[in-house]
Every structure is written in structure tokens, then in C-alpha cells.
Chains A and B, each alone.
Chain A
Amino acid sequence: MRDKHIGQYFNPDTLPFHFCPGCGHGVILNHLNSALEELQFDPRNVVIVSDIGCSGLADKYFTTNALHGLHGRSVTYATGLKLANPELNVIVLMGDGGCGIGGNHLISAARRNIGVTVLVFNNLNFGMTGGQFSVTTPEGAVTSTTINGNLEHPMDICDTVSVNGASFVARSTTFNESLTKLMVEAIINQGFSLIDIWELCTAYYVPNNKFSKQKLEDTLSSLNFPLGVLRRRERSEFSLAIRHQASDQKSQVQFKVKPLGSVYKSTVSEKLSFIIAGDAGMRIGTAASAFSRGAILSGLWATQRNDVPVTVRAGYSISEVVLSPEEVLFTGISSPDFMIVLFPAGLEKVKPKISALSDKDHVLINIELLPVETRAKIIPLDFRISGMKREYWSFLAIAELLNYQEFYPLSALKAAINMGTPFAERVIQAIEDTEKIVVD
């Protein structure tokens, strides 16, 4: 069954080419057909990914799979195809325009050494949209958007992908009779391959610049752009490398689930909200998480919302926790029932909330941060008595809150800490070693 597909790569129903007389595109496609004939791939395992521009018309001439995508993005579809199925032979046909708008993708594909082959139909301008300049247009050249001569330096596509890790890089012109051989080499190279193929755009670049085969060759030499194979490099191919790297992770369990059974008892009979305010790096979020999980172990429903500035290791760190005997739907806190305030940056952030509290609310606060203006009941905490490092203070404050209000047993908090809190043993030890830190 497979064999019937092999051997014929041009689709006779779509030929002849619809390119302008003298255009180099047809020459490149004839060489590609010869290269595929030589390689004898099953066309069902070949995908021709075409970009936008006149070269984007080319996929229809072949009997292979075809993916004609957006301008400059052909390399991204090619990469996706190859990543999903490393058995595919993926060949990208793109113009110099695509190399400009999709330059980042070319560089990234080269850096990864993803096993696709890029053939650049480089005719030095935008042929399909009316002869505008492109990233490869030589300096001084006249195009429809540089009527007084191009002021930009042309991009060296070969050097760009070469310095960024491509494993096969070559430059050619459509006048090179051994282009087929070069294409075969590029396609059988396992990693990222690119051939920059210079050609004539007889519709625009040739008449606008009195351009010719001779002038094309002169331009290449004046730019010091050499022809032939410019780079061969041994590097592992990305779609295989990523699979190889994953091979020792296979059969590992995906998502280690941490179920929380409600094995303790709680005294909470209505929705309560808490704000724990401190500084970055002081394990505020970690402690709030243990507080929440302790509540869930005690049959409550908890939510936890963290707020940090853009820089995670500097400035304030705030955690908002809501506990309720029924499912918490609205996770916002307009005014908390309890606040724990530990460090200066956190205090600064929650000051307006502290001053808006009512006399029914409670603020457990590091004694060094007093005085604060509020109607809430102030419970000063003197952490110096404990002798513990600042990283433990948020845990000590929560333990003190549980001693004070008995929302749920301290053993539930310790059990929660034991379920995944980093340095759990030391945290529990710190709680157990600490005498009363509330200042009466």
C-alpha cells in the first residue's frame, strides 16, 4: 500500500508553475523534486511547510503533505510537527520576507537544532506585494519603498543561524547546478538545516536595479557572503533530545495528590477572614498555607490568596485566608476579623486596613511595630522572648492565635506542617520550644 506513494513528488495536476518568466522559484522547486526523488521518502512522511509570498504558492506542486501558514511563522509549525512526530521529514519553503518577520523563530530553531530543513527563496525583495525592500535587500538598492536607495544593511541569514547553533548551513544561487545535492545533504542532516538560495525577481528587483546573474554574483562577493556549505556541526537533534531527557522520568506519577481528610474538630461556626502581613522571604505564604491546611484537616473550608510586589524576594508579602464551616464562594476580604502583622513592609501595606478595623476585630502584632492607630483589640507579640529566627515568626504567631482563639487544635496545625512544609521538623520544634510570646 505504501509503495504506491513513493517515487512521484510533483503533482502533474497542478503543474506547470505559475511564476513570472525568469523567476528563480521554479528552479528551486525542480531541485527539490530531484532531491526527493533521490531520497525516495514516502510522501506521507514528508511535510512541506510554506510561508507567505510567492514561495508560499509552491506546496501545491508536490504530492506530499502541505501546511501553508502565516507570514514568517512557518518555522514554528514545522517545529510543532517535528516535536510531535520526529519521524516526519519537514521542509520549510520561505522567502527573505519571512526571514525578517520571523527572524526570532529562525534563531530559536537554530539554537534548539530542531530537525527541519529551511530553504530560503531569497530574491532580495517582496515579490508578491509589489517589490518592497526586505531584510536581505542590499544597501543602495531601489525598491518601491526605497525609491532613493536602501539605507539598511542586509541581514546575513547564514551567519545568523550559524552562530546560533544550526548544524547544517549553506548558501547557493539558482544558477548552481549542484543545488539538488546540497538539498539532499540538508534534508538528511538530522538537526536544523538552512540553505540561503539567492535568485532573481524578474518582476521587481531586476527591472528596478538593472539586476542580472552577474550583478547577483558581484553583490555576494562585495558583501563577503561566501557560497557553498558554510557550517557542519555535530549536535543532538532537539525532538530526540527532549525525548531522551524525559525517558528517565517516564512511569513517574504525574501530580502527587495531597488529600486532606478532616480528622480534627473545629470551633468555627461562621465565615472568618484573616490577613497575615509580613516581608518577602519570611515564609508568610508558607505559614498561611499550613494554617489553611490545618483548618481543612479540621473540617473547615479554606481559601488562601497571596499578594507580593513584582519582585518576589523584596518588599511586602501578604496572605489572605478565609475559613468557613461551609464552602467559601467569595474569596475577597473587605475587612478582616483577625490580622497578624509581623514586619515593617507588611505593616506599611496593610496600615489602611488596620485603621479601618472595628472594636470586634483583633490584631496580633510584633511589639516592635507598635504603636498603630486602630479601634481593634491589639495583642502584642514579643518574638525576642522566643529567641527564634525571623523565618519562624509567622508560624509562632499562628500557633499563638490558635492558643488564643482555639479555632482548631494545634495538633492539626502541626499535622498540616508535616504534610509538605519545607523544614517541617524545625518549624514544629520551634513551635513546641516557644513559651508564651503574647505580652499582657
Chain B
Amino acid sequence: MKDHNQINNPPVREFINGAEAIARAAVDSGCNFFSGYPITPATQILIHMAAELPKGGGIAIQAEDEISAIGYCIGAAMAGARVMTATSGPGISLYSENIGLAIMGEVPLVIIDCQRMGPATGGATTVAQGDIQFIRWGTSGGYPIIALSPTSVADSYSLTCHAFDLAERFRVPVFIVTDKETVTTRVTVNCELISEYDARSKKTIPEVDEFIPYHFDDLADIPLMSPMGGAHIVRFTTSSHDERGYLSKDPSIVGRMNQHLSEKIVKYIEQITLVDEDLQAGADTLFISYGITSQSVKEAVRGARENGHKVSALTIISLWPVPEEQILNAMEGVKRVVVPELNLGQYCLEIERLARDELEVVGVHRVDGELISPKEILQGGTIR
């Protein structure tokens, strides 16, 4: 029976949250190993993966703690699996040492950080963006990782898919740094933005007579992997090592290897950088934001322009490495940069170091568990 209220050819949408978008992205990307430990607000991802991964022949395992969750992922990755783990700030603290191991051993690893309010246990069900500098500097040595920050549920899907490609290409932990709000709030999404991603096949080295696991000619070259249990003998170590994976203290070997860990990211920054530029000629004010806060900025910008103000906005999606060129370009000609964040000013430090002296950099902060509203963002820019 046809309802007279119905219309023809409707757009098809879904009502889902970021947790489901991330889990679906992982499955569509060919992720076949997941391990996590229950923690709000990341637990929903663990539950989705435990329910869905076995249907496709993958393995999902609840670990005894966060240290083992990432440990299982590292072991599985070295056996050739495509791996992901998900946690929140307190769990990242426990991942810390193994994040260093994954950097040192060049393990492709996707880590979802569902930020909640800190410090410590903080607010388990409360939104925050307090882990931004932590994920960059959260392990000893200070070597780079890659971090992508979704602004929405649709972004959560596409960036998680992209994270697997980056992790395997650069052999480095790739963070999806999201938050309680994006992960748990259900929103309306057009189906085509969260539909099947065409997963790439894993690149491994073809069978050779002598496999040298950490051999590279140029510092930025990334050696291809060979899975343990495959065609070659593979050596992996947490210690400073030579190209064959044997412990080394030789300064010429160790120095080159450590520079490689940085250079392989730095050299290819333009291939990692993702920003959303919404720049308006003649604007005095530039909003720079990332993650959930960018949603408020978009609404603020829409409102300001409707009221005749000229404003620019730069959404930073690849937080680490810092897209310096795009930030410098967006800051050209503006008088004021407003950086809203759900912390006491973290990414603002990156903006401040790049801003020329006469440029005013204003942080808008909330650490009370409430989102920053479009109105507060406009006030930060002294726009009414």
C-alpha cells in the first residue's frame, strides 16, 4: 500500500556512529587481525570487530591488558596479517613502549585513539582532544608517526581505510585520532560515503636468494616486508640494529638507521598531507581546527559568511607530520588565527611556531566535557 506521504527516488542514508564506521572501514580494508582491551569509548569497536571479523576468516581477540593488545598486533603483523587496535588515552599510555617497538621494527599498525577527557581515568564518557601532542611524543626517542584526525563519521570510514595504506607503505604506526563524540554519537550519513572500499593487496618482497630485512639505499627508502613463516628468514629486533636485524652499537650504522626512521616520513610529507582548505580572499581571520571541533568551525564559518564577514578555515586532517606548507599558505594575509581545541592549547603550539611575529594566534579551549559551539568560535575571532 502506498503512503500518500511518500516521495519518489529518495537519497539513501544510514544512521551510524564513528565506531561502526571505523570497524566497517577495517573490514573493507582487508584487516584480518584485531586485538583490544575494553575501554570506554573504544569498546564499541572491539565489540564490532569481535562480532564481524570471524565471519570473514579474520581473528579478533580481547587481550588481557593494553600492553598485550598491541603486542598481539605486532606479532600478527610480523606474520603478515593486516592489523588494527583501538583504545582511549589511558590505553595509549600502556601502548607507549610498544609504539616505540613498532617504530623501531617498522611494523605496519593502525591504532585508533578514541580520545576522552583526562588526565588519568578522567571522564570515560566525556569528549576531549587531549592526546594530540601525546600521540606524537608518546614513546621514547621522539621518532615520527603518522596521525589522521577524522572530523565526522564519514571521514572515520575513509581515513581508516587510508590509514591501512599508509601503515603498509611507510611501515609505521598510523593513528586515527578521534574522540568520544565522533565515535559514539549517531549521525546521518549518505551511504556512498561509507560503502565498500577497494582494499589493496599487501606488498611483500618476492622470493630472493638473500633477504636483508632492513636494507635500504636512500635513507628514505622503505624496505619491503616478508612475513615470518613465508619465503625468507626474517629477523626483527627492538634494539638498535644493522640492516640484517642484528644488534649494533656502531655509530655509523645506528645513526643511519635512526635517521631513516625519520627521513622515510619527512621526505614524503606531501604524499601524507591531507587538509581541507576553505580560504576566502580578503579574510582577516583564519580558523585552524581538526577533528570534532572542525564541525563547529564549519557551522561558524557558514554563519559568519551569511552575516557578510570574510573568514577562512583550514581543517587539518593529517595532524602528524605537521602540514607546514599548507598552514603557512593559509596564514598569508590574515591578521588573526583562531585555534579551537578541546584541550588547553596543544596543536596551537605548532601554529604559534609557524606564525610570523605580528600574527595574533588565539586559542579557544574547553576542558569541561562540552563541545566548543560555533558561537564560542566566532567570539574567539571577535566576530559577532
Using a CB–CB cutoff of 8 Å, the interface residues on chain A facing chain B are: 5, 14, 43-45, 47, 49, 57, 59-60, 63-70, 73, 76-85, 87-88, 104-105, 107-108, 242-243, 245-246, 249-255, 257-265, 289, 292-293, 296, 299-308, 310, 327-332, 334, 409, 411-412
Stretch of B170-178, B186-194, B280-288 contacting A (4+ beta carbons < 8 Å): B186-194
Q: With A67-B78, A80-B71, A411-B3 as given contacts, are A331 and B181 in contact (CB-CB < 8 Å)?
A: yes
User: Hey, which chain A residues are within 8 Å of B298, CB to CB?
Assistant: 329
Q: With A66-B245, A68-B236, A83-B59 as given contacts, are A263 and B7 in contact (CB-CB < 8 Å)?
A: yes
B interface, size bucket: 35 or more
Would you give the shortest CB distance from A212 to chain B, in whole angstroms? 32
User: Hey, which chain A residues are within 8 Å of B299, CB to CB?
Assistant: 329-330
Contact present for A292 and B7 (CB under 8 Å)? no
| B371: Cβ under 8 A from any A Cβ | yes
Contact present for B78 and A70 (CB under 8 Å)? no
Contact present for B55 and A254 (CB under 8 Å)? yes
Name B227-241 residues within 8 Å CB distance of A. 227-239
Contact present for B7 and A299 (CB under 8 Å)? yes
User: Which of these, A77, A259, A409, contacts B13 with CB under 8 Å?
Assistant: A259
Would you give the shortest CB distance from A103 to chain B, in whole angstroms? 11
27 A-B pairs whose Cβ atoms sit less than 8 Å apart in the complex: A66-B234, A76-B68, A77-B72, A79-B71, A80-B74, A80-B78, A81-B76, A81-B229, A84-B75, A84-B77, A87-B229, A88-B229, A108-B64, A242-B59, A243-B59, A258-B14, A259-B13, A262-B7, A263-B10, A302-B15, A303-B186, A304-B15, A305-B185, A330-B295, A330-B296, A332-B296, A334-B375
Contact present for A310 and B74 (CB under 8 Å)? no
Contact present for B237 and A68 (CB under 8 Å)? yes
Name B48-100 residues within 8 Å CB distance of A. 48, 52, 54-57, 59, 61, 63-65, 67-68, 71-81, 97-98
Q: In the complex, A273 Cα to B74 Cα: how many Å?
A: 45
Contact present for B5 and A80 (CB under 8 Å)? no
Would you give the shortest CB distance from B278 to chain A, in whole angstroms? 13
Contact present for B295 and A292 (CB under 8 Å)? no
Would you give the shortest CB distance from B373 to chain A, in whole angstroms? 6
Would you give the shortest CB distance from B188 to chain A, in whole angstroms? 4
Q: Which residue of A lies closest to B187 (CB)?
A: A303
Contact present for B52 and A254 (CB under 8 Å)? yes
Q: Is chain B's binding surface mostly helix, strand, loop or mixed?
A: mixed
Q: In the complex, A258 Cα to B185 Cα: how many Å?
A: 17
Would you give the shortest CB distance from A350 to chain B, in whole angstroms? 15
User: Hey, which chain B residues are within 8 Å of A299, CB to CB?
Assistant: 7, 10-11
User: Which of these, A77, A259, A296, A307, contacts B71 with CB under 8 Å?
Assistant: A77
| B101: Cβ under 8 A from any A Cβ | yes
User: Hey, which chain B residues are within 8 Å of A47, CB to CB?
Assistant: 228-229
Would you give the shortest CB distance from B368 to chain A, in whole angstroms? 12
User: Which of these, B13, B23, B72, B227, contacts A76 with CB under 8 Å?
Assistant: B72
Q: In the complex, A138 Cα to B67 Cα: how many Å?
A: 29
Q: With A263-B6, A329-B298 as given contacts, are A44 and B75 in contact (CB-CB < 8 Å)?
A: no
| B24: Cβ under 8 A from any A Cβ | yes
Q: With A44-B232, A73-B98, A79-B72 as given contacts, are A264 and B6 in contact (CB-CB < 8 Å)?
A: yes
Contact present for A329 and B296 (CB under 8 Å)? yes
Contact present for A84 and B80 (CB under 8 Å)? yes
Q: With A88-B229, A289-B186, A306-B184 as given contacts, are A259 and B75 in contact (CB-CB < 8 Å)?
A: no
Q: Which residue of B lies closest to A320 (CB)?
A: B185
Q: In the complex, A329 Cα to B247 Cα: how many Å?
A: 51
User: Hey, which chain B residues are within 8 Å of A301, CB to CB?
Assistant: 187-188
Q: In the complex, A242 Cα to B56 Cα: how many Å?
A: 13
Q: Which residue of A lies closest to B152 (CB)?
A: A329
Would you give the shortest CB distance from B10 to chain A, in whole angstroms? 4
Contact present for B67 and A292 (CB under 8 Å)? no
Q: Which residue of B lies closest to A69 (CB)?
A: B238
Would you give the shortest CB distance from A408 to chain B, in whole angstroms? 8
User: Which of these, A255, A328, A334, contacts B187 with CB under 8 Å?
Assistant: A328
User: Hey, which chain B residues are within 8 Å of A78, CB to CB?
Assistant: 75
Contact present for B79 and A84 (CB under 8 Å)? yes
User: Which of these, B35, B228, B371, contacts A88 with CB under 8 Å?
Assistant: B228
Would you give the shortest CB distance from A189 to chain B, in whole angstroms? 20
Q: With A63-B233, A65-B235, A293-B15 as given contacts, are A329 and B71 in contact (CB-CB < 8 Å)?
A: no
Q: In the complex, A306 Cα to B183 Cα: how many Å?
A: 12
Q: In the complex, A67 Cα to B63 Cα: how many Å?
A: 20
User: Hey, which chain A residues are within 8 Å of B373, CB to CB?
Assistant: 330, 332, 334
Q: In the complex, A64 Cα to B236 Cα: how many Å?
A: 11
| B38: Cβ under 8 A from any A Cβ | no
Q: In the complex, A70 Cα to B105 Cα: how many Å?
A: 11
Q: In the complex, A340 Cα to B370 Cα: how many Å?
A: 21
Contact present for A104 and B74 (CB under 8 Å)? no
Would you give the shortest CB distance from B240 to chain A, in whole angstroms? 11
Contact present for B7 and A264 (CB under 8 Å)? yes
Q: With A65-B234, A76-B71, A258-B14 as given contacts, are A292 and B186 in contact (CB-CB < 8 Å)?
A: yes
Contact present for B57 and A250 (CB under 8 Å)? yes
Q: In the complex, A60 Cα to B245 Cα: how many Å?
A: 9
Q: In the complex, A310 Cα to B184 Cα: how many Å?
A: 15
